[in-house]
A and B are shown apart, each in its own frame.
Chain A
Amino acid sequence: MAGTTDQEAFRTQLIDTGVLLDTGVRGVFGQGAALLEIAAAVDALVTRKAADERALRVSFPPVMPRRVLEDNGYLGSCPQLAATVFSFEGDEDAATDQAAVAAGHGDWSGHQRATDVVMVPAACHPVYPAVAALGPVPDGGQTVDAGAAWVFRREPSNDPARMQAFHQREVVRIGTPDDVAAWRDGWRDRAAGMLAGLGLDTAVDEANDPFFGRAGRLLARSQRAQKLKFEITVPIASPEPTAVASFNAHGDHFATAFGLKHADGTVAHTACLGFGLERISLALLRAHGFDREAWPEPVRADLWP
């Protein structure tokens, strides 16, 4: 899929200025100092905004147990985005053959078997089983801050704002239906104010996940009908504004899958929010230019207090 002229031009500019380092694979980039520093500042800004939540802070690697993906329904709803870690399995002859085929850039996948880990497609996915294992949800609910985590979605694109591997800053709320709904709505409004304060041209929209196939259309329409997902969008390099943050109510989907319960045994509800740190950083560069010293003073003060 070819990118638009604007996407190609922005991508070239990002690589020429060292913001992104090209790897030759679409949507997989190294990150230069400017991107690292802006993303870290956005991450820290979210931390300051979330300070009153007294969240349980956790961090997970970019891989998670395969079993989590099998239990959470993702292979049914978004199989096109999921990625499994495969690894070599075989004897010395097989290893020799694999190396020889690989050296010629042939197809050496026949020597690989699925392992017990998969790539994390959303930073909140490892949170639910891990928190369920800690015991019942505390009275009054629980906020879990999963920090800035690498995630991977198999989604090659020429749009530099649509990466396959990127950082999501995710926060999860676990509680009663009313609790998580109020939390999700409160954060949606708080985040919209935060991003508008950074000089970004934000809009809040009802949204749906990119569910797969005909079954996915039913899920997507169902998600919209119930207003389960909101996104904050900002113009970056696509004809349509790009989502830079999302706010999602899951009902009892994850809680039922992983046994998240209140002390009285009732199943909890969950919601999550995610900020796309690279996308917000690229949106800031797009809005204010590549010379950070020249960014509006209120924006600089918010990011680097």
Chain B
Amino acid sequence: MNDLIRTVLRDHGRLPVPMETLADSDDLYRAGMASHASVNVMLGLEDAFDVEFPDRMLTRGVFASVDAIAAALTELGLGAPA
């Protein structure tokens, strides 16, 4: 799961640093992900995992790290985090 999350972040996160340099727990906003990019990440994750984030998950914290995203997807029933 985390590999696919990382692929989405690489494609949509517009991060100023390579994803490989970030740990799963690293704060993506601190690493330079803009709010507008987080929207594209949200939509990219919905495409990649064929899910729709419910309204309560449309918050900044849900997309703050690979771990946070994996936890949200797990909560939506998408298997245990790697």
Contacts and interface: CB of A to CB of B under 8 A. Distances in A.
A77 B35 CA distance: 11
B60 A76 contact: no
A221 B39 CA distance: 12
> SS class of chain B's interface: helix, strand, loop or mixed?
helix
Contacts of A256: 34
A219 B55 contact: no
B42 A215 contact: yes
A222 B59 CA distance: 7
Given A215-B42, A215-B43, A221 B36 contact: no
Residue from B34, B55, B58 with most neighbouring chain A CB atoms (10 Å):
B58
Contacts of B39: 76, 215, 218-219
Top 6 closest pairs, chain A to chain B, by CB: A218-B58, A215-B39, A222-B60, A222-B35, A217-B58, A225-B60
Nearest to B60: A222
> SS class of chain A's interface: helix, strand, loop or mixed?
helix
Interface in B23-67: 34-36, 38-39, 42-43, 53, 55, 58-61, 63
A57 interface: no
Nearest to A228: B35
9 contacts: A73-B36, A77-B36, A215-B43, A219-B36, A222-B38, A223-B35, A225-B60, A251-B35, A252-B34
Contacts of A225: 59-61
Interface of A: 73, 76-77, 214-215, 217-219, 221-223, 225-226, 251-253, 256
A69 to B, nearest CB: 14
A223 B38 CA distance: 12
Residue from B36, B53, B55 with most neighbouring chain A CB atoms (10 Å):
B36
B60 A253 contact: no
B60 A218 contact: yes
Given A218-B60, A221-B60, A225-B60, A76 B55 contact: no
Given A217-B58, A218-B59, A225-B59, A253 B38 contact: no
A87 to B, nearest CB: 30
Contacts of B43: 215
Contacts of A217: 55, 58
B7 to A, nearest CB: 20
A265 to B, nearest CB: 14
A212 to B, nearest CB: 11
A257 to B, nearest CB: 10
Contacts of A215: 39, 42-43
Contacts of B60: 218, 221-222, 225-226
B34 A253 contact: yes
A179 B11 CA distance: 33
